[in-house]
Chain A
Amino acid sequence: MSQLPAVVIDGILYASWMFIIAVGLTLIYGVMKILNVAHGSLYALGAYTAATFAGYWLGHGYPAFGSYGVLLIAALVVGLIAGPVIERGLLRFMYGREEIVLVLVTYALFLILEDFTKLLFGVDPILVGAPYALLGNLEMGSLIYPVYSLVLVVVSILVGVALALVLSGTRHGKMLRAVIHDREMSMAVGINVSRVYLVTFTAGAMLAALGGAITAPTTSVQPGIGAEVIVLAFAIVVVGGLGSLGGAALGALIVGLVRSAAVHYQPEVELFSVYVVMALVLIVRPKGLFAAPEARKI
């Protein structure tokens, strides 16, 4: 099958993009036990902010290569503002409620942010393709790929590795893992769980925004991109196992490859192939691929 290399590469490209979004989602769930529906909105805010900043930057004739930095800064700005505002301003008051209630809270937040984004950036699509086109294309045999997309793969791998190192190597990372395991126990040994929550949510927000920021140059940024992304992110995170970094990576890869295969071989099933995979994985492994074991209750 001559299409196979194309399927695999496309799958990896798609997966790398989704990983950045999914990893933030799974991190937030792992630490705070919150399935953040608003993650999609943060992605959208990141995309809009990045597109706007980059548009401004390039429009004023600044060096084109600087636009990449601008994209990153946009993501940071969105994460650093939205993260603490949402966590301190809203989520903080909901801790202790059931998980499903928190999902509804983040869903309400998603609805609010969808309109907030429209108010802030308008409803017209924003196209800032320059950073994407700037790097040109790479030819591999008969296949042509934008270098930008390939760079994206590198970026997502870096993000994954960095997170893994932080979680296993640094003191903060270890505190995070402690909280993931047992919130009360962490409090009992003196970990400032409040601060861990704040840091985690902000980091997650930054990652979502980063996902949006780097996607912005490749597409038309318009209302609704957040909603499209969030359901896919859910599928990945649930497939991989909620709270698992490795799970997010594997989940992203599986979803990416499946979608790519669908697009190439059977386009009619593209839309729901991902959900079929999700359903299949959940049937075989009810809690996802890498799920934490559960202790005895009685």
Chain B
Amino acid sequence: MKRDPTVPILMGVVIFLVAVGAFLPQWALSFLTVVLNLGIVVLGMALMMRTGLVSFGQGLYYCLGAYAAGGLDHFYALSDLLLMAVAGALLAGLVASLLGLLLAKYRDIFFAMLSLAFSMILYGLLVKTSALGSTDGFGLSIKTFASVTIGTHSVRYVIYASAVVLAGASAAAMHAYYRSHLGRLAEAIRDNELRVEYMGASVRRVIHLNYVISAALAGIGGALMAGAIGHVDPETTANWTTSGEFVFIAILSGTGNVLAPFLGAGVFEAVRTFALERFPNTWQMTLGITMLLVIMFLPGGLWSMFRLRRRGA
């Protein structure tokens, strides 16, 4: 059996990033933090896509994660980043366990549309809830990590380093999952649900499980992003355009490897930042054209450009 280099690469990257972060300028730390947080969300999208389903409503869980983080600070003065990440994962996971009961029965466009509907329901709810700031949302700040107080000068770095570590941990966890029996079932379901049922496994249960995992990941990403930005609002979290961005990055990345979503998020953020600065009125067009090119010429996403592992045993 060929050695799979993913985990060593992962560990190396995490250590490198944490170390080098102490010397990076502010803008680089912010950029990388955003990329890592997005990557965690897309890691979840990739899991669903491996299972054959594209969710157009992942923003729902991203938003829940963000508001969980915001709520902890705003209402309970619990400004701990790790706690926020955990809360985000739990809240998102809980809601997903409920909604998943329903959604696991749908496929293709109907799954996409129904997931979209639920995210828009949350969006609508938040916009009309003045206690949560309606369309303006509200701000939050980070004061501690795992109860350890963060010095005001180190906040940016701690937010960044937390993102690195949590991203690395999520990626490693997903990698292990894909190598387990349950993880392997995802692609089997995507390819042929009938066969899976006829071998004796429950398609619905696996889809439900994967849905909850992907929601939890989105929740973590949302919480971390809220901490990084210092603000939450419905528009940038629950609106369908945000979910659309996650879909876009997922397509761009491909599902080939757990490192792919981070690569895709990096390219996406780089292009977006560049395009927003230079061509503010055409960055959506740039995104659209890029997506078309990827769909047409690289259906496996950017990752298919490097095939580190051959298909097979």
Contact = CB atoms under 8 A, between A and B. Distances in A.
Do chains A and B make direct contact within the complex (CB under 8 angstroms)?
yes
A35 B106 contact: no
B176 interface: no
B123 A271 contact: yes
Contacts of A93: 296
Given A107-B247, A271-B128, A35 B116 contact: no
A62 B159 CA distance: 63
Interface in A228-278: 231, 234-235, 238, 242, 268-273, 275-276, 278
A99 B53 CA distance: 12
Contacts, number: 114
A85 interface: no
B105 A118 contact: no
A100 B292 CA distance: 14
A275 B120 contact: yes
A112 B194 contact: no
Contacts of B125: 272
B12 interface: no
B112 A115 contact: no
B289 interface: yes
Given A111-B288, A118-B281, A286 B124 contact: no
A111 B240 CA distance: 13
Given A108-B289, A108-B291, A234 B284 contact: no
Given A112-B285, A231-B240, A286-B110, A104 B251 contact: yes
Nearest to B234: A271
A159 B112 CA distance: 29
B106 A100 contact: no
A276 B121 contact: yes
A96 B281 CA distance: 33
B247 A271 contact: no
Contact of A99 (B108, B121, B287): B108
A111 B251 CA distance: 15
Interface string B291-313: 11001100100000000000000
Nearest to A115: B285
Contacts of A90: 292
A115 B284 contact: yes
A279 B121 contact: yes
A118 B288 CA distance: 15
B241 A227 contact: yes
B281 A111 contact: no
A192 to B, nearest CB: 25
B244 interface: yes
A100 B54 contact: yes
A6 interface: no
Contacts of A286: 105-106, 110
B178 interface: no
Contact of A272 (B124, B281, B284, B295): B124
B181 to A, nearest CB: 25
Interface string B244-285: 100110010000000000000000000000000000011111
Contact of B281 (A119, A238, A273): A119
B127 interface: yes
Interface string A194-231: 00000000000000000000000000000000010001
Give the 4 A-B residue pairs with the shortest CB-CB distance, closest first.
Answer: A272-B124, A111-B288, A271-B124, A112-B288
Interface of A: 35, 90, 93-94, 99-101, 103-105, 107-112, 114-116, 118-119, 123, 227, 231, 234-235, 238, 242, 268-273, 275-276, 278-279, 282-283, 286-287, 297-298
Given A105-B295, A111-B288, A278-B113, 15 more contacts: A90-B292, A99-B109, A107-B288, A108-B287, A111-B285, A114-B284, A115-B285, A119-B281, A231-B120, A238-B113, A242-B109, A268-B128, A271-B123, A278-B114, A282-B114
5 contacts: A101-B299, A105-B292, A112-B292, A115-B281, A273-B124
Interface of B: 54, 102, 105-106, 108-110, 112-114, 116-118, 120-125, 127-128, 194, 240-241, 244, 247-248, 251, 281-285, 287-289, 291-292, 295-296, 299
